[in-house]
Structure 1
Amino acid sequence: MRIVEVKKRMCGALIVCAIFLGGLSSCEGGKHNTLTPAEVADGWKLLFDGETMNGWKDYNGTTLTEPWHVVDGCIQAKGEGSDASGYIVTDKQYENFELSWDFKLSKGGNSGVLYHVVERPQYTVPYVTGPEYQLLDDENFPDELENWQKMGVDYAMHLPDLAKMKVNPHGKWNTAKIVFDNGHVEHWMNGVKLLEFEAWTDDWFARKNSGKWMNAPEYGLARKGVICLQDHGYPASFRNIKIKELPRKSKEVTLFNGADLKGWEAYGTEKWYVEGGLLYCESGPDKEYGYLATREYYDDYDLTVEFKQESDGNSGVFIRSFIEEGVKVNGWQVEVAPPGHDTGGIYESYGRGWLIQIPDEKEDILKMGEWNTLRIKVLGDNVTTWLNGQEMVDFKDEKIGAGQGRIALQIHDGGGIKVAWRNLKLTTL
């Protein structure tokens, strides 16, 4: 795991000896990397075929170059990775699932399984995006450990029940499982549940924002992502890696409670406040861009917001957006603008600019200085917008389809902007 790197570069012969003595050279005992007819019928699928690295690649890559290989029916980390390298991920993303695997560590071994990992050029390592089931030989690890770094933890977030922890020593096989079911999370070890928690609750965010992840704004927010295996400088073997996908559950969400900004995070120095049951955005003295983003991700949904442009009105609603650095929000914006400037159109905040503008004959649908209703439906690669009950654009885009992230309100730079918002509600799809 991301523990201080241990300076233990051994010669090739010693590495081979360590692997042999740790019992990592074989997936001995029984038939592995297969599914029973009952498992197939129940929806389980293998993530490792026992013979090849098909279905795996480097994190943020297109091929496999990291130090992993297949040895006697096992995926094996060679022990050449570090905090900055050694990560492999599945070709496919997963949202809700049961994930099970067998693992075997070397003496003092350090590895992990991460999920909901997001691949973007802005992230050089996966652990700033995806939670991790820690795999560690606590007893023989050479450095002092915090409790949140030990075997079975939800790394730097949730601790297991140690009374239930039954782990076979290094060189022996163990079976672990992660359950992620629409925010409900469980860690299992050798058939026993070690911990469970609910993601994205007030408690979850308090842990995220007060510990190791306080400077990793997107950690753990993704609702889907790739599965990741970690080589952290120690040989480790995996077999019988299998997954069963679980269905997504729809829910109704009220984004603004009419009283305060709970559930939102502000970026920049512009003004966001609640007054008279309304949410206001207003230019501050810096006259720069400002954003108010949901603390949670929302990917597929039907969103309705009401807005009134009291001054200028150059704003917008970002979809599937993420915080790149500082104040910068990266994603796609459904425009809210003064008359004649494409309210309801879709603009990309980086790269391509306008993706689709509204027809000129629909510019008079906006009612400046009055309440307007904006509806945004985001489903896969399709975004449809309506303003005051009339469709403005219906647009498909592969990049939007691959995106995920927060909903965010914007204040444009230049100053003089004041917009009121109310009734921000969505249904997840």
Structure 2
Amino acid sequence: MSMISKRRIKNTFAALMGIAFILPPVQAGEWEVLFDGQDIASFRGYQMDAFPKDGWTIEDGTLRTIADGQVVDIITKKKYRNFELIFDWKVTPGANSGVMYRVDESKNSPWHTGPEYQILDDSTHNDGKNPLTSAGSLYALISAQNKTLKPVGDYNQSRIVLAGDSLQHWLNGDKVVACDIESYGVNTLVKSSKFSSHQDFMKKQTGHIVFQHHHDEVWFKNIKVRELPEQEILPDGKGVNTISKAQREAGWRNLFNGKNTNQWRGFKKETFPQKGWIIVNDCIKHISKGGGGDIITKQKYGQFDFQWEWKVAPAANSGVKYFIMEERGGAIGHEYQVIDDNKHPDALRGPKWQTAAFYDVFPANNRVLQPVGSFNESRVRVKSQLAEHWLNGIMVLNYTLGSQQLQDAVSKSKFKRVDRFGYRHQGHILLQDHSDEVHYRNLKIKRLGKGKKKK
């Protein structure tokens, strides 16, 4: 099944969820204040009728845990399915807490059903040593990326956005976690985690929002929530390498129909290579040592959402590059690495050369791969100056084009002398001939924004 079919297409919160669509807008609900600095009427204790005043108190307009008080989590009286939650929090040195969602009270503990946004002092708590359990993470499953934490004792601003299966964690203005909770990647992580024995974990379609009491002193304030509209689901195409009329009307375009390569040509060539690349079993396949060279899209893209499926033969290497400009001379662009991590020598060099990495620049994290010989689902999304790499339903890398962080990384890479490398360009997308066997299918793209070149 293609990534488009798995990822529900949104309406109103297109920009919020990272995808732009042209479906009729549906308005989100009004903001609902859950805590205004005085009123706790929106909350009660987990599996309790009343608010646990022996474990929580109001102090200077904040909702604070009592460290040596009754250890009871508080939950919203109301249940939520699709929502945006914002809140501020701070911790004492070494403190731990969390915010869980879609929680059902039928189990002994909230974490038996609800995933958790981790609240933590990363600097001194033991959980801070592990990225999977540090602040902002999808606790014990997906680490927070490129995050900025305020000093202990200062307030952090957090946001959770959950619409259908699409989940995002934000921390101090940055998206640090994004995933499809029903994806192969997330399901695989759950099966190998502490949650594997809890069959209802992350399976509830609606539930309470929970603020955790973890024996430590933690403050919360400015807690607001608004419900998001139900997702609009676009019908799939009728088979592999197809898109439906509704998907096309939403802006998606098919780059390979399984029958011809009309959307592609050779790099610096007017036509498609006569050797090396063939169509077989619904795939564009590169034959091992078949030659032919790299192939590129005939059209150029600057801001886009590109999704595809791929598999490699044992020890094989390839890549998907973007921002390809033929006037540069060589096929130089930002590369999403496609490789056999376990056997190819390049991957054995380290994370910056492994699957889904920004090749030689940034490693990918939170990766879940299919076995070699099976198809993986990948995605590159570029919107404004933000770029994301996805693998099997999980955002595994995100970075800001033109940022100092990126330029510092480029300066240590093979691209350090490439003019304007690390900025957004209007360029081709490229499938790499690395002399190895690789298969590509379900190549689909959607333009985002005007795609003008930026520096």
Range class of TM-score, shorter chain: 0.3 to 0.5
TM-score relative to the length of structure 1: 0.46
